[in-house]
Amino acid sequence: LNLTLIDLPGITKVPVGDQPADIEHQIRDMIMQFICRESCLILAVTPANTDLANSDALKLAKDVDPQ
């Protein structure tokens, strides 16, 4: 078994400094390029002190793999 771990960025909702105005869209597109692959195993990470119902990571994972 050969696995490659790719740590993708968290979703930035508000541009900071010289980040582009569409930073959220750019990051979502990058994430989708990786997690839509058939061979991808998604490990959605969410802070333990937040409500899972508000997790962007879980929403994206569920959109791609509803099971």
- Domain membership of residue 8 (yes or no) is no
- Domain membership of residue 18 (yes or no) is no
pLDDT of residue 13: 93
Cα 25 to Cα 45, 51, 65: the distances in Å are: 19, 23, 20
* Domain count for the chain: 1
pLDDT of residue 67: 85
Which structural domain, as residue segments, surrounds residue 64? 43-67
- Domain membership of residue 61 (yes or no) is yes
This prediction has a pTM of: 0.85
- Domain membership of residue 35 (yes or no) is no
Q: What six digits make up the tokens of 60?
A: 């994206």
pLDDT of residue 29: 97
pLDDT of residue 1: 86
Round to whole Å and give the CA distance between 55 and 21.
Answer: 22
- Domain membership of residue 32 (yes or no) is no
Q: What six digits make up the tokens of 57?
A: 């990571």
Residues of the chain with pLDDT under 50: none
pLDDT of residue 45: 92
